[in-house]
Amino acid sequence: MSQKMAKDLSAKRLLAHYGRTLVIGLPLLWLVVFFALPLIEMAQVSFTEARRGIPPFKPLWGFGEEGFFTNFNLGNYGLLIDYADDYVGPAVNSVRIAFFSTIICLLFAYPMAYWIARTDERTRLVLLILVLLPFWTSSLLRMYALIGLLNPNGFVNAILLWLGIIDAPIKMMQTEFSVYMGMLLTYLPLMILPLYATLTRLDHTLNEAAADLGASSATIFRTITLPLSLPGIIAGCLLVFIPAVGEFVIPALLGGPDQLMLGKVLWTEFFRNRDWPVAAAIALILMVIVAGPIIYMRHVDRNDDAHNQEAV
């Protein structure tokens, strides 16, 4: 009996050991294969030269008839510097549009998330389903639906003309307004969900205690609710800003030539010019631009944790 129990215990320990290995190893393997290796390959391509052929770039290193060879060079990055006017503008546009899109999403998402967090559980479930409902349809279909709304002969202009508010159709397509509307329609749920997750965990007795002490609703929100919801704000802003910087479909369909972003530049270099090394260099620069806010937010978060620990 004791031997059987010992075998069962050994089997359970072995299963627990390999179970932990699988739980950790499979996601790690997925990250290595589909994230780290493509990133390394993109970095290699950015330091080589373009050519006519398949693949459309020279190998960075290898072994030939004369032995080991390398095509390492910084010419692609030098080209970006020489033609900075062609790339700085789209980069600035990408950061600017992504930043203001994040702010607009935050302004719309915060009251919605706060309202959802304060409702009863049954209503909360329905509202969360409505928030997630846009994800059940293709983003491309949503953009075409928005085009139908914002066109000169679309629904919005038709309603405004019928009400007599305007005398002629307003140009809303191919403008920054249409791009921001597309960003809002696409990324609003990504801002609402982390805000909702943070707001539902707040201790509402703090608000009640502040109200009992004579604090107004605005003071309670400014001194209690808003500071405690900062983790959700930071998470939501990162979830919106990061994909918005590299957005391609929205500015291509809704924006004009003044809304050229790095996503369109990347597409042009990859598929029209077939210059993969330059496109890889642009992609790495874009990754650096995106990583900047993440590193900064992480630094701020660590400082806040250290400050809180010192205060305790």
Question: How buried is 44 (Cβ within 10 angstroms: 0-12 exposed, 13-18 middle, 19+ buried)?
Answer: middle
54, part of any domain = no
Looking at the domain assignment, is residue 139 inside a domain?
A: yes
Which domain covers residue 142, as residue numbers?
83-274
Distance (Å, whole) CA 150 – CA 189: 21
Looking up residue 98, the CATH number of its domain turns out to be 1.10.3720.10
Please indicate, yes or no, if residue 116 is contained in any of the structural domains: yes
pLDDT tens sequence across 71-128: 888 888 888 888 877 888 888 888 899 999 999 999 999 999 999 998 888 888 899 9
CB 151 within 8 A of CB 254: no
- Domain-embedded: residue 286: no
Quick check: is 248 in a domain?
yes
Task: Measure the CA–CA gap between 192 and 235, rounded to whole angstroms.
Answer: 10
100 domain residue, yes or no: yes
Q: In total, how many domains does the chain have?
A: 1
- Other CB atoms within 10 Å distance of the CB of residue 4: 8
> What are the tens digits of pLDDT across the range 178-228?
999 999 999 999 999 999 999 998 887 888 888 888 888 888 888 888 888
Q: Is residue 160 part of a domain?
A: yes
- The answer to whether residue 187 is domain-embedded is yes
pLDDT at 6 over 60: no
The C-alpha atoms of residue 118 and residue 45 are separated, in whole angstroms, by 51
